[in-house]
Structures are given as C-alpha cells and as structure tokens.
Amino acid sequence: MNKIEHIGIAVKSLESSNELFSKLFGQPHYKVETVESEGVKTSFFNVGTNKIELLEATNEDGPIAKFIKKKGEGIHHIAFDVDDIESEIIRLKKEGFVVLNETPKKGADNKLVAFLHPKSANGVLIELCQERKL
C-alpha cells in the first residue's frame, strides 16, 4: 500500500455538506460524480496532499443509506492507494482479511476498488484503490 488515497464520509445531504466542508477547508469541492452500481453520489475535496470524499445515498437500499440509518453521518471508510489491486486482494486474503468484492469494480474518481470487511480490520471498512488505466 502506498498511501491513504482518501477518507470517505457518509452524509445525508451532499449539497449542505459541500457547503459545510467548503467553509471548513476554505475551498470548493473539485468533482461530483454518481456511481450507480453503489447507489451513491460523491463529492471530492483536495486537502493538502489528501482527499476527502463525501458520500450521499441515491437509493434507500444502498450501502450508504444503510450505514446512515445504523450509525448516522460520519466516517464511512479509509481508502488506500495500491499499485496492483488484484495482487493486494490475493495477499490480504492470505493474511486472513475478508474481501467483500474479490473482483475489483469501477469506483469514483477513475479508480478500480475493492473493500475489506470491517470485522476483519478492527471495525474499519478499508477500500483499496488503483488508478484505472485508460
């Protein structure tokens, strides 16, 4: 793993949260994107060398809607940048981590993504991210 790619925060309203975080960071978000397969609309902020991803549910059955119903708004996941997501999935499975999607899928911000179950990572949902090659 190379670095923290971003921290994902589940929010009820992307519009009001974009306003709030724009004030906090002193700058606007740089991108809004919908990921239909995940039932989520995202917004990204650059904060120094780091990124923050805000996540709003686009349907009541999606993972973000379920998270907010159960836990409320807040930190949803920590994403790590990797060079080879498929090799990392194999390595982490061998180390005993539970991988939620063994085949990487298209995520927001031009990434391939895979998730590790929080129960295998001290209660933290871990996202692996690899830049998609065009």
Q: Is the full-model pTM beyond 0.95? A: no
Q: Give 117-129 pLDDT, tens digit per residue.
A: 999 999 999 999 9
Whether 134 shows a pLDDT value over 80: the answer reads no
Give the tens place of pLDDT for each residue, 46-84.
999 999 999 999 999 999 999 999 999 999 999 999 999
Per the structure block, which two tokens stand in for 78?
């920590």
Q: What are phi and psi of 119, to 5 degrees?
A: -65, -20
Strands 40-47, 50-57: pairing is: antiparallel
Res. 32 pLDDT band, cuts 50 70 90: very high
Q: For position 67, what pLDDT does the model report? A: 96
